[in-house]
Structure 1
Amino acid sequence: MDSDLIPAVEACRLLGISPATLYAYVSRGLLESRPGRDHRSRVYLRREVEQLAQRKRLGRGPARGAAQSLDRGLPVLETRISLIRPDGPYYRGRSAVAAVRAGATLEDTARLLWDCGSQDPFVEPPGDWPARVAALALDAELPPLARAMAVIPLLALQVPHSFRADQATRRAVAATLLRQNAALLVASRPAGPVHRLLGQTWRPGDAAFAELVRAALVLCADHELNVSAFAARVVASTGAHLHATVCAGLSALSGPRHGGAATRAYMLIEQAGQSRDIGRFIATHWRQGEDLPGFGHALYPDGDPRAAELLSMLRAAPVDPATMRLLDTVIDAAGQASGRQPNIDFMLTAICLAFGLPATHALAMFATSRLAGWLAHALEQQAQGRLIRPRARYTGLQPEAAAAAAHD
């Protein structure tokens, strides 16, 4: 990985700036530096420097804004659903962290995100699996996301198309779908509350675990226009069925750069635990240009408040002291090496490790929770009645050059 790291002089050359400006970029969070081999110099990730150089070349006009908007850049859509602040996400103006402390469930959060008012779309029981999908829905040998993505399109056949339905009907469809998705992710039958379903399936009778799951589901329910929410919203803008929007979100989540973050964090913790010196292992990992999955968040430079809340709850839970020491040691080592704090991916992983569960359960928790947000974005987009169709900035071969090349 050393070839991916470049010294300050090379970074300055690629960016066309002075060393003083380079250090200013680091202090402003535009670039990240890491210790060099001699521990006195600083090195930089080549890909980050090249990406910054490309953004600089785009200039300051609308083209630059368009190019940056789809990578945590300028806002691209208006929404009333969630707001991200340094102290965590707010759902329709209400703090997600405060909701956890008040005992809110995922169903409570969904009602808020969906702007239900006095309507309770969860009042009706979710029912059992239709005969044609029961075997597939309860097949625990299938990966959780694959099972959900296989069954949900078939469930849509049992539900009238929601595109022209009134908002109350759409919310009722969404409520059933939320519970069905949760059940699919744990190969069980639909039931509520969702956090109890997951808790009883994975750790029967463990109230402390179920309480942590409740908190995690509320904190992960929505996070503005993340990749999976945006994918679901684009599909919803076409007038597609709510089931199709959910499948779009699940498909986006299946990628290693989105939903796979928790699995990579799980592997990092396991590898650190097997090393003789966790501090040295993490520091070497960082210095060699490797990422620290589960640490740092672009939208929370001072630390992810969602993770801090879950970490506080986990430390108070009756978990194996040795596992908790391992987690704390990894957190301390990562902080010393990189200055980064744990994010929500790390904490979903930490909960699974602390209670003896595999990494796949962290992803299942995330997918269970985030469905509430996807459906909120789908409902909002359908109510707006507009198609999402951004323009592209073409950077390829111009037609004149292509024609000239064809004649050479």
Structure 2
Amino acid sequence: MTDDLLSARDTCRLLGISRATLYAYVSRGLLESRPGPDHRSRLYLRQDVERLAERQRVGRGAARGAAQSLDRGLPVLETRISLIRPDGPYYRGHSAIAQLRAGASLEDVARLLWDCGADDPFAMPVPAWPDTVAALASDARLPPLERTMAAIPLLALQERHSFNSAPQIRHRVAATLLRQNAALLVAQPPSIDPVHRVLARTWRPDDAAFEDLVRSALVLCADHELNVSAFAARVVASTGAHLHATVCSGLAALSGPRHGGATARAYALIAEAMQATSPRDSIAARWQRGDDLPGFRHALYPHGDPRAAELLQRLRTHMPDRAMLEKLDSIVEVTDEISGQRPNIDFMLAAICHAYALPATPALVMFAAGRLAGWLAHALEQQAHGGLIRPRARYAGVQPPTQE
């Protein structure tokens, strides 16, 4: 047993719980279990156990709420934008999966998330790149997020309505930003075409099945309640900053390996499993070492990420290469069998790239292009409500000397 893994007995002792409670924690997704050396016992990640123990040690009331709220814990603010349920996210009361099945585009769900009503902010033309941005925006040598984060502040200088508070004007600024963001991510000129078409024709032109998969991914990535990048965007928006600044904060948060960067890690796991003599042995070896399985498990969906299940079903329908599909299905099946974990949205974005012989980058681009709709929704809602987001910290450092 490594120092990173604990036995059931040690886990129960540290948490002060019974075996029955331990098994209940696992079933609820609060803890992960892994096979022990004899394949009958179970082991538990020390970091997960210690995190849960720390939550238990925090006192009740306001202090406990503050300590838990920043790690998928208690709610910290109200929103009318999205709701997470076991069957997936709901956008203003409408199932994202149902919207997808009805043929919605990213623009359609953006209008819903932004509460546009009968107004269509996408009816406006999109301007060409200004001279200050043109060379940067078309430089495909630059990584997508970096190119986009460098260009958007310059685009803000050209937006004369940046601080206009009229809802229709702000929706039109948001619509322009959604289109510009997509174009920047793939180093293409701005277009009035649907975002999924702009992305799909960059990677696989004239492939209707692939285009529909991209549309599906964008719709399912559009928002996911108060995730890290959405919270970053709301914090910036609460200062009164313009929408371009909130978009940059969302992109910066997304760039981390524990958020949008998880798509690259999932892509690497798939590649490693496919290149191994036995995908089962590859996944089992990672699991036995105590390594994580990028692209699997979601804390908010302990019984499986329904967004991933929907994308997997659509990939099975559209996928022309049956041999590749069988490999991806095998990875999903053996991982579930070995770890009890099911794929999440990161895995499926990476799987789409593998299925169509694309590198890992398009997975992150789809995530960033889709999620921008949600960031803008949260920024618009935050600024409409007003108020500065300024939480307090519970100091745990060295205390200053007592003054006499």
Does residue 270 of the first structure (1) align with residue 277 of the second (2)? no
| Corresponding residue for residue 93 of structure 1 | 93
2:30 and 2:224 mapped to 1: Cα distance? 22
2:21 and 2:371 mapped to 1: Cα distance? 40
Q: Aligned pair in 2 of structure 1 residues 18, 165: CA closer, same or farther (>3 Å)? A: closer
| Corresponding residue for residue 186 of structure 2 | 186
1:227 and 1:27 mapped to 2: Cα distance? 25
1:204 and 1:27 mapped to 2: Cα distance? 44
| Corresponding residue for residue 308 of structure 1 | 309
State the aligned residue count: 403
| Corresponding residue for residue 324 of structure 1 | 325
Q: Give the deviation of 1:318 after TM superposition.
A: 3.7
Does residue 103 of the first structure (1) align with residue 103 of the second (2)? yes
Does residue 115 of the first structure (1) align with residue 115 of the second (2)? yes
2:293 partner SS: coil
2:159 and 2:27 mapped to 1: Cα distance? 53
Query: Which TM-score applies when normalising by structure 2?
Result: 0.97
Q: Give the deviation of 1:280 after TM superposition.
A: 1.8
1:201 and 1:16 mapped to 2: Cα distance? 55
| Corresponding residue for residue 209 of structure 1 | 210
1:161-180 to 2 correspondence within 5 Å?
161-180=161-180
Q: Give the deviation of 1:114 after TM superposition.
A: 0.5
Say which is worse superposed, 117-126 or 155-164, in terms of deviation. Answer: 155-164
Return the letter of the residue paired with 2:272.
Answer: Q
| Corresponding residue for residue 341 of structure 1 | 342
8 A contact 2:28–2:302 mirrored in 1:
no
Report Cα offsets for 1:51-107 as digits up to 9, x if no partner: 111111102222111100111111111001001111111111111101111110011
Q: Give the deviation of 1:359 after TM superposition.
A: 0.5
1:122 partner SS: helix
8 A contact 2:217–2:311 mirrored in 1:
yes
Q: Aligned pair in 2 of structure 1 residues 28, 347: CA closer, same or farther (>3 Å)? A: closer
Does residue 47 of the first structure (1) align with residue 47 of the second (2)? yes
Return the letter of the residue paired with 2:58.
Answer: L
2:25 and 2:110 mapped to 1: Cα distance? 40
| Corresponding residue for residue 30 of structure 1 | 30
Return the letter of the residue paired with 1:276.
Answer: T
Q: Give the deviation of 1:18 after TM superposition.
A: 4.2
| Corresponding residue for residue 56 of structure 1 | 56
8 A contact 2:156–2:162 mirrored in 1:
no
8 A contact 1:12–1:19 mirrored in 2:
yes
8 A contact 1:296–1:343 mirrored in 2:
yes
| Corresponding residue for residue 160 of structure 2 | 160
8 A contact 1:162–1:169 mirrored in 2:
no
Return the letter of the residue paired with 2:68.
Answer: Q
8 A contact 2:316–2:325 mirrored in 1:
yes
* Percent sequence identity over aligned pairs: 71
Q: Which runs of no fewer than 5 residues in structure 2 stay unpaired?
A: none
| Corresponding residue for residue 280 of structure 1 | 281
8 A contact 2:319–2:325 mirrored in 1:
no
1:381 and 1:4 mapped to 2: Cα distance? 41
| Corresponding residue for residue 136 of structure 1 | 136
| Corresponding residue for residue 237 of structure 1 | 238
1:285-296 to 2 correspondence within 5 Å?
285-296=286-297
1:175 and 1:23 mapped to 2: Cα distance? 47
| Corresponding residue for residue 385 of structure 1 | 386
2:211 and 2:25 mapped to 1: Cα distance? 44
2:15 and 2:314 mapped to 1: Cα distance? 44
8 A contact 1:163–1:382 mirrored in 2:
no
Return the letter of the residue paired with 2:389.
Answer: I
| Corresponding residue for residue 360 of structure 2 | 359
| Corresponding residue for residue 15 of structure 1 | 15
What's the RMSD between the two structures over aligned residues? 1.5
Query: Which TM-score applies when normalising by structure 1?
Result: 0.96
| Corresponding residue for residue 5 of structure 1 | 5
8 A contact 2:91–2:112 mirrored in 1:
yes
1:277 and 1:288 mapped to 2: Cα distance? 17
